[in-house]
Amino acid sequence: MASLMQTLKNSIPSWLTGRRLVIGLPYAWFLILAFLPVLIVLKISLSEMQSTAVSGMVSWQGAWPSIKLDVSSYLFLASDELYLATYLSSISYAFYTTVICLGLGYPFAYFMARAPKQWQALLVMLIMLPFWTSFLLRIYAWKTLLVNNGLINNALLAIGWIDSPIEILNTPFSLLIGMVYSYLPFMILPLYANLSKLDARYLEAAADLGCHPFKTFWLITVPLSKAGIVAGCMLVFIPAVGEYVIPELLGGPNTLMIGRVLWDEFFSNNDWPMAGAVTIVMLLLIMLPLAIYNKLQSEGRA
Amino acid sequence: MNSTALKWFGRSWMLVVYAFLFLPIFTLVAYSFNDSQLVTVWSHTSLRWYKALMQDSDLIAAVMLSLQIAFLSALVSVFFGLFSAFALNRYRRFTGRGLLSSLASTPLVMPDVIVGLSLLLMLVSVQQALGYPERGLFTILLGHALLGTAYATVVVRSRLTEMDSKLEEAAMDLGCRPWQVFSLVTLPLIMPALLSAFLLTFTLSFDDVVLSSFLSGPGYSTMPMVIFSRARLGLNPSINALATVTIVVVSIVVIATTLYSLRQERQRKRDMALAQRE
């Protein structure tokens, strides 16, 4: 046994130290699966589609490689107004989702952080509980709730607010309900993590000095929770820009979202360079929020 | 607003948000016991859709495939997540630490469609060059494991940060080799985090539809893919029955593991108190 261990030990090359293994293994994993694919998408977006295959980018003329960049996908993207409109509408849906989540989630997280200590673990668990149920099934449930003869319309009819069923499903409104519903926990949790660490002495000091509670809230609580607000907003905004499932199930055919365009370019039109170009432009759009988010992550505040 | 009014305002605000979060789940469960073919009209209570579900061989095959992928994906995710959490937590300075940290946290927020498309285009390029891998279980697994590793890293990393490093130092002082410190001290201490990372990444994989749609090949339909294609066409009551079954199973597992970790934690505290008294 001991000699076996020794043989094993000797067969490990000397440069492979524990430290190198611990760092190198996850590094290789993420570089290959998260970084390399983006480079390949960039390459394909600059290639030409030849019948069913993507043309090679590098061709050899004698000893010299000639690199052919085909920017036609990007030119088409820039010239077609529908793409521009779709990008703008994705960003505005993501923006409204973020604002509504913040509006609902901030007071929620604030009251949660001020609830009796022994309750807080339970309250947090209740926020995470829906997450354990399939996201797809919950969005599907909203479809059931929002159809013309669904529960929401029936309830509104019963209390007499409306006289005939209103069209909710397949409108921008139902899309926003689904988006806010799915992303709200991602806003609440970082806000709660931040607000529960707020030092109560600042608030007491402000109160002692005669500051009105509302003024204290605006001048002390909100600025101190800035990191939580930014983290929550990024966690909602970035994935919301590229959302595909929610618009497909709740948005109807007329809501423009870039995730759906990407999906159709790839699955229906089989146009890989175009799908690649749509992806690269989407990546550029979320680059700044992504940088802010990564900065927060590395500082360990989010 | 005085403080009593504020308290009641806070409570009702929280109640409304919780109602909003749980309303769809209750609807799924309630309508699964509805006899009507129409998902929206209540006729009378029956188990009709559960019977239909049991005979739905397509859906059952898809559930089995999803369970397999989710189990494997959770194992791989926890394995790589453990390594990357260790690298980021224990080694404060190394070349490219910032890049690793960004790469590990980006999949958490990156839209699914981008991750799915870019992974697929890479796998297709690899396949053109090497003739491997075929699209199917393995490619779906890679996508899920990438996403899972990012989540597992967060869970394990936060546990490592809050862990008491004195215990590891004590073991080293007593002559443990690094590998022994890890297996005898660190691993048992972070076990609850590994368990919750496993459950979380299992759920993520079991739930994913976008990555699977991009990465799967002919003959490989996961449960969410089947549900999604049916939900696109319209409403289907046996989906409600399936939802109820998953909700019950997941609740039991989540409650059981929560109770287990709480007990472990209490036991550990008792042991610590005992050790200090002696």
Query: Per-residue DSSP letters for A51-109?
Result: TTEEPPSEEEETTEEEE----HHHHHHHH-HHHHHHHHHHHHHHHHHHHHHHHHHHHHH
DSSP state at residue B185? I
Indicate yes or no: CB of A26 within 8 angstroms of CB of B87.
yes
Instruction: Say what the pLDDT of residue A5 is.
Output: 65
- CA B106 from chain centre, in angstroms, equals 17
Tokens of A6: 């020794």
Query: Per-residue DSSP letters for B192-218?
Result: HHHHHHHHHHHHHHHH--HHHHHH--T
Tokens of A199: 């030092």
pLDDT tens, B100-141? 988 998 999 999 999 999 999 999 989 888 888 888 899 999
Mutate one of B14, B27, B33, B113 to test the A interface: name it (highest A CB count within 10 A): B113
How close B46 gets to chain A, by Cα (Å)? Answer: 19
Instruction: Say what the pLDDT of residue A8 is.
Output: 66
Instruction: Say what the pLDDT of residue B206 is.
Output: 93
Contacts of A282 in chain B (CB under 8 A): 111, 114
- State whether residue A301 sits within 8 Å of chain B by CB: no
Instruction: Say what the pLDDT of residue A302 is.
Output: 37
- State whether residue A243 sits within 8 Å of chain B by CB: yes
**Mapping DSSP to helix (H, G, I), strand (E, B) and coil, where does residue A294 land?**
helix
- State whether residue B122 sits within 8 Å of chain A by CB: yes
Instruction: Say what the pLDDT of residue B154 is.
Output: 92
**Residue B171 pLDDT > 80:** yes
Instruction: Say what the pLDDT of residue B210 is.
Output: 95
Instruction: Kindly tell me the burial class for residue B99, based on how many C-beta atoms sit within 10 Å of its own C-beta (0-12, 13-18, 19 or more).
Output: middle
- State whether residue B76 sits within 8 Å of chain A by CB: no
- CA B153 from chain centre, in angstroms, equals 12
- Closest residue of A to B122, CA-based? A37
pLDDT tens, A41-60? 998 888 876 655 565 666 65
Mutate one of A12, A17, A22, A176 to test the B interface: name it (highest B CB count within 10 A): A22
Nearest by CB to A150, from B17, B40, B228: name it.
B40
Residue of B192, B194, B171 lying closest to B181 (CA atoms): B171
- CA B1 from chain centre, in angstroms, equals 42
Instruction: Say what the pLDDT of residue B21 is.
Output: 93
Residue with tokens 């929610």: A246
Neighbours of A301 (CB within 10 A): 15
pLDDT tens, B230-260? 888 877 788 888 889 988 898 888 888 878 8
Tokens of B12: 């009702």
Residues 215-254 on B with a CB inside 8 Å of A are 224, 227-228, 231-232, 235, 239-240, 242-243, 246-247, 250-251, 254
**A137 in Cβ contact with B243 (< 8 Å):** yes
Phi/psi class of residue B217: alpha, beta or left (left: φ > 0; alpha: ψ in -120 to 50)? beta
**Mapping DSSP to helix (H, G, I), strand (E, B) and coil, where does residue A225 land?**
coil
Residue with tokens 């977006």: A45
Is A79-299 CATH 1.10.3720.10?
yes
**Which ipTM did the prediction report?**
0.87
Mutate one of A110, A235, A294 to test the B interface: name it (highest B CB count within 10 A): A294
Contacts of B21 in chain A (CB under 8 A): 127, 130, 181, 184-185
Contacts of A22 in chain B (CB under 8 A): 83, 86-87, 90-91
How close B216 gets to chain A, by Cα (Å)? Answer: 13
Q: What are phi and psi of B199, to 5 degrees?
A: -60, -45
- State whether residue A12 sits within 8 Å of chain B by CB: no
Instruction: Say what the pLDDT of residue A258 is.
Output: 93
- Going by pLDDT thresholds of 50, 70 and 90, the confidence category of residue A301 is very low
Neighbours of A46 (CB within 10 A): 20
Find residue A66's DSSP bridge partners.
A59
Instruction: Say what the pLDDT of residue A62 is.
Output: 63
Domain assignments of chain B as residue spans, ordered by start: 37-277
Instruction: Say what the pLDDT of residue B122 is.
Output: 92
Identify the helix (H) or strand (E) that includes residue A160. Answer: none
How close A274 gets to chain B, by Cα (Å)? Answer: 12
Q: What are phi and psi of A61, to 5 degrees?
A: -115, 100
- Going by pLDDT thresholds of 50, 70 and 90, the confidence category of residue A4 is low
pLDDT tens, A74-128? 888 888 888 999 999 999 999 999 999 999 999 999 999 988 888 888 898 889 8
Lowest-confidence pick of A53-67, A266-280, B66-80, B169-183: A53-67
- State whether residue A210 sits within 8 Å of chain B by CB: no
Give the whole-angstrom CA distance, residue A150 versus residue B234: 13
Instruction: Say what the pLDDT of residue A250 is.
Output: 93
**Residue B215 pLDDT > 50:** yes
Q: Taken in order A121, A123, A127, A131, is the CA torsion positive or negative?
A: positive
Q: What is the largest CA-CA distance in chain A?
A: 86
Q: What are phi and psi of A60, to 5 degrees?
A: -105, 125
Mean pLDDT of A257-263: 92
- State whether residue A44 sits within 8 Å of chain B by CB: yes
Residue of A269, A271, A241, A267 lying closest to A256 (CA atoms): A241
**A75 in Cβ contact with A274 (< 8 Å):** no
Instruction: Say what the pLDDT of residue A216 is.
Output: 84
- State whether residue A279 sits within 8 Å of chain B by CB: yes
Mean pLDDT of B160-168: 84
A-to-B residue pairs, Cβ atoms closer than 8 angstroms: 220
Indicate yes or no: CB of B118 within 8 angstroms of CB of A272.
no
Domain assignments of chain A as residue spans, ordered by start: 79-299
Tokens of B245: 């079954």
- Closest residue of A to B107, CA-based? A34
- Closest residue of A to B128, CA-based? A53
Instruction: Say what the pLDDT of residue A2 is.
Output: 60
Give the whole-angstrom CA distance, residue A193 versus residue A195: 6
Query: Per-residue DSSP letters for A244-258?
Result: -HHHHHHSTTT---H
Contacts of B227 (CB under 8 A, 6+ apart): A134, A136, A137, A140, B209, B239, B242
**Residue A285 pLDDT > 50:** yes
**Residue A197 pLDDT > 50:** yes
- State whether residue B114 sits within 8 Å of chain A by CB: yes
To which CATH superfamily is domain B37-277 assigned?
MetI-like (1.10.3720.10)
Indicate yes or no: CB of B125 within 8 angstroms of CB of A40.
yes
How close B154 gets to chain A, by Cα (Å)? Answer: 10
